[in-house]
Amino acid sequence: MTERDSTQNSGSAAEALARRHLEEKGLRLLAQNWSCKRGELDLVMLDRDTVVFVEVRYRRHRAWGGALESVDARKREKLTLAAMHFLQKESRWAQHPCRFDVIAINADGNRPPQLNWIQNAFDT
């Protein structure tokens, strides 16, 4: 297994953990790994009547900063463009309120991963 395969497996596991957490909180999945030429949306969920674009960030080591810090201005712009494209393609959701959430998952040694759900993580 290559390091890239390991990273993809970790990312998939982190998205599954995030999805389960959000579904336990009452959100409903609309799309997972939705992609377009503008980028990819990890999870698109429905929280009552609000469309929630969820970026899942996983960090095994804090050497380059934590998971939350990795959602920089460039990443926020890509997410915003992908979300706009999603709403154009999936027009039934275009009139709903929207928000951007981040689920930051940090692993720390042998302890279980810590999940931090930040609602309204940024504005467009």
CATH of residue 107's domain is 3.40.1350.10
| Residue numbers of the domain that contains 19 | 3-122
> Number of structural domains, the chain?
1
Residue 99, beta-bridge partner list: 52
The model's pLDDT over 74-122, given as tens digits with 9 standing for 90+, comes to 999 999 999 999 999 999 999 999 999 999 888 776 777 789 999 999 8
Please report where in the chains the tokens 């931090």 appear, as a residue.
116
The model's pLDDT over 9-27, given as tens digits with 9 standing for 90+, comes to 677 889 999 999 999 999 9
DSSP state letters, the chain: --HHHHHHHHHHHHHHHHHHHHHHTT-EEEEEEEEETTEEEEEEEEETTEEEEEEEEEES-STT--TGGG--HHHHHHHHHHHHHHHHHSGGGTTS-EEEEEEEEEEETTEEEEEEEEEEEE--
Q: Tell whether the model's pLDDT for residue 47 goes beyond 70.
A: yes
Give this prediction's pTM.
Answer: 0.86
